[in-house]
Amino acid sequence: MSVLKNQDPELYKYIEQETERENKNFELIASENFVSRATISAMGTVLTNKYAEGYPGKRYYGGCEHVDKIEDLTRDRAKKLFDADWVNVQPHSGASANAAVYLAFMNPGDTLLGLDLSHGGHLTHGSPVNFSGITYQAEFYGVEKDTGRIDLDKVRDKAKEVQPRMISIGASAYPRDFDYSAFRDIADEVGAFLWMDMAHTAGLIAAGVLNDPLPYTDVITTTTHKTLRGPRGGMILLGKDGKNKLGVKARKSGRVKNMSEVLDSAVFPGSQGGPLMHVIAAKAVAFGEALRPEFRTYQKQLQVNAKHMADEFKNRGYNLVSDGTDNHLILVDLRNKNLTGKIAEESLDKAGITVNKNMVPFDTESPFVTSGIRLGTPALTTRGFKEDQFTEVVRLIDTVLQNPNDESTLKSVKEQVQDICAEFPLYDFVEA
């Protein structure tokens, strides 16, 4: 019998129920994915016992000789994966990584220019309800109403107007790729740092499926889950030039040699204490998996699936923000279907299809209701879904959205979802 099941049957029951939900549902939340058994196994090791404040070779605790090797291995794999010169794998999350970037590059009250959250941006890129919008002066660029795309001429005009200390790129609900060279030109023109938060697209970038921001940006942050298909966590990266570009704060203080040291200090002790060594080990597993040739094959299929899904929705009369996708997600504007995102999310959930309601640009509903839904292909592609299966996914979603309150329709769709999922088994265990 499982140790956990024997010792804590109540908790085990809830984990078992979640395992069953993941096995039997269509998981279409763009920020979610399914990790390997090896990744799960690494997180459930004795490494959770070890305090390791500091960095390999420079710890504040004894007994770190083995976790030093683990962190070095993780960093080496990440650098190889992204062709980076320096990484920090200690951030507990994407938000933690971003907090360290702010601490390293900006002072309270400095101006940040980023993509508006309501136009697909990140919460930690200046939203007024987030620490980033509370601590810093946040200004925003957005997408065009008629195209759903960023107009770089307007970004340049905004940057000249507000003179930001830093410009951020990256999004949580923007279906298109970014022109990093153009953003670099804008940043240079106004004397701003350029930061890319590639949390959503890190796997696609690592596989060479999307444009690479590393040669153009001063700093990059990411989560290690989502398309990268690792454990929940964060990371900071610098390119081969970025490591030696001294920040103004570093030059004036004389206390550090280069930007990598500024960022290391901003993570620990600046914004975190001890690293989560069991999660860092799981990152090493995921990065090792991502270095294999089949990971690129997976990312290409993930992108193909997203484009196919977009076409299927358009064929059924749905409006998509930017009229399609370059990456792993699509954003569906439901206003022409007389539906809200909230109704769509709730009805689809009853039918075994997991999505999230999402604001669309120039939304007329509140963030708690929304006019759209966001759909992503990473998790179902991990299960083995290809174009034929995504044709069925869209057909079943459309069936539900045409009859969102019909219980018999929801029941029928749920049965079909479970039948398809049974053909693509996921986890045959609760504990790795």
Please enumerate, by residue number, every residue annotated as part of a binding site for (6S)-5,6,7,8-tetrahydrofolate: 117, 121-123, 366-368
| Secondary structure (3-state) at 34 | coil
326 secondary structure, DSSP code: S
Alpha helix locations (H) across 329-406?
Answer: 341-350, 378-383, 387-402
Q: Is 223 a catalytic residue?
A: yes
Around Cβ 112, how many Cβ atoms within 10 Å? 26
Q: How far apart are CA 257 and CA 260, in angstroms?
A: 8
Q: Is residue 226 annotated as part of the catalytic site, yes or no?
A: yes
Query: Tokens 């890129």 belong to which residue?
Result: 125
3-state DSSP call for residue 252? helix
By DSSP bridging, strand 86-88 and strand 356-358 are: unpaired
Active site residue 53: yes
Residue 183 · residue 152 · CB < 8 Å = yes
- Burial state string for 298-320 with b = 16 or more CB within 10 A and e = fewer than 16: bbebbbbbbbbbbbbbbeeebbb
| Measured distance CA(101)–CA(119) in Å, rounded | 23
End-to-end CA distance of the chain: 13
Q: How far apart are CA 112 and CA 110, in angstroms?
A: 7
Determine contact, residues 351/410, Cβ cutoff 8 Å.
yes
Tokens of 299: 């990312």
Residue 311 falls in the annotated catalytic set: no
Place of tokens 């200390």: 165
Side-chain half-sphere exposure of 253, counting CA atoms within 13 A: 13
77 is a catalytic site residue: no
Q: Which residues pair with 330 in a beta bridge?
A: 375
Which is the catalytic residue, given 217, 222, 223, 354? 223
Contact 197/94 with Cβ under 8 angstroms? yes
Run of H or E residues at 238: strand 234-238
User: Would residue 55 show up in a list of annotated catalytic residues for this protein?
Assistant: no
- Residues tagged in the binding site annotation: 117, 121-123, 366-368
- Taking Cα atoms as reference points, which of 108, 314, 329 lies closest to residue 199? 329
Q: Rounded to the nearest 10 degrees, what angle do helices 259-267 and 94-105 cross at?
A: 130
Greatest Cα pair distance, the chain, in angstroms, is 70
Catalytic residue from among 75, 226, 307, 357: 226
b/e burial code for range 143-152 (CB count within 10 A of at least 16 → b): beeeebebee
Q: What is the DSSP-derived secondary structure letter of residue 394?
A: H
Please tell me which residue in 116, 197, 218, 312 is annotated as part of the active site: 197
- Of the candidates 232, 283, 383, 414, the residue annotated as catalytic is 232
Instruction: Give the active site residues.
Output: 51, 53, 197, 223, 226, 232
